[in-house]
Chains A and B, each alone.
Chain A
Amino acid sequence: MTDTTRNYDRILGNWFTGVDGDPDGYTEGCESVASWESDPERREQFAAFKDELAAHIRDSSDQPVGQRETQWLNDEWLRNLWYDLFGPEPAPDDPYPVPAEDWGHPRETPYIEYAVGHEADSTEAERAWLAQRGLTHADIQRGYSWRQQPPPDYADRLARLTAEGRRTSYDGEV
């Protein structure tokens, strides 16, 4: 997939990008997944969003905002989003899945950064989010948010996916 769809952009853009400017929107979106998946009026578009997110993770085909970062960093950000929305099962065909035991210790996703605090002050939604992922407040060890260096075969993989027409390249992507 070389372009993002309007449905994808609309959900990402109204809730999840720009998390550092609007952390509350991101957090609320993460806590709305169950209700979105059970809402007959929203179920289909959200399922399409989920499929497309998986495809962009697989093909490195969602470019970072402003192309100011590397494709790898953006892919890793999408992996965090996937975890924050859907849990530790990697996106289908994710070529570089995050080891399940890394989530929450030391890998810190935006939801963990902004919504997970002390147990004593926790909200019901926050406790439910942790429980669904098999985590507790005591488990959280804040380390890094993404693997800094891409795997050795990553540049070759990008070139191949570009040649196959599954993504569009840009200056500074590696």
Chain B
Amino acid sequence: MIDKNDKSAIIRMFHVHKNYGSKKALININLDVSKNEFLFITGPSGAGKSTLLKLLYLGEPVSEGQILIDGMNLSRISRKRIPLLRRKLGIIFQDYKLIPTKTVFDNVALVLEAMGKKRRFVQKKVNSVLRMVGMEKRFNALPQSLSGGEQQRIAVARAVVGMPKIILADEPTGSLDPESAGTVFDLLKGFHARGGTLLVATHDQELIRKTGCRAIHLKEGRQIK
């Protein structure tokens, strides 16, 4: 169970740097994210928003500095424990990253299967999450037969089905029409309302203004505010 009153930091970044060869993608990032916080990471394209999220789910290793997520030090984590870290996270990508050869149901069920959950539990939980995102009737469809908005709703369903503590969303509404974007955003707000922590990378200033949540701004890899 998530304690909504516990406001201690669930993510801590200390002097984090990320270099790609001689190019500096992130420079001296210091950040604390509290439990149940809804945090936006903003900035223009190439500012380092996606890179910052990648460091959090260990899609890339940090070049310098330390990151702590729910007590796990990412610099010292063993290869075997990376899946355990990722099970604490639900990740939403701008390009959805759904497996094209698997049905909607199988794409969502994959998370619970990877966690070793029993078949009956998987069936029940996936159906309930698909109902929540309004995709229960398309459970047997393949991703390519769905619209962008529908695919992103499946991606959200996949991110929340494992009941993670944190959701990392990289431009979740970036390629969607306003109506679909609104639906996806409502789903994320629902996760937050249930006590989850959210980090959303976006350049949509209107979205940030509407929610009134904290935002950090990145420019050329540096944290501005």
- Do the two chains belong together in a single complex? no
Q: Which residues of B contact A (CB under 8 A)?
A: none
Q: Which residues of A contact B (CB under 8 A)?
A: none
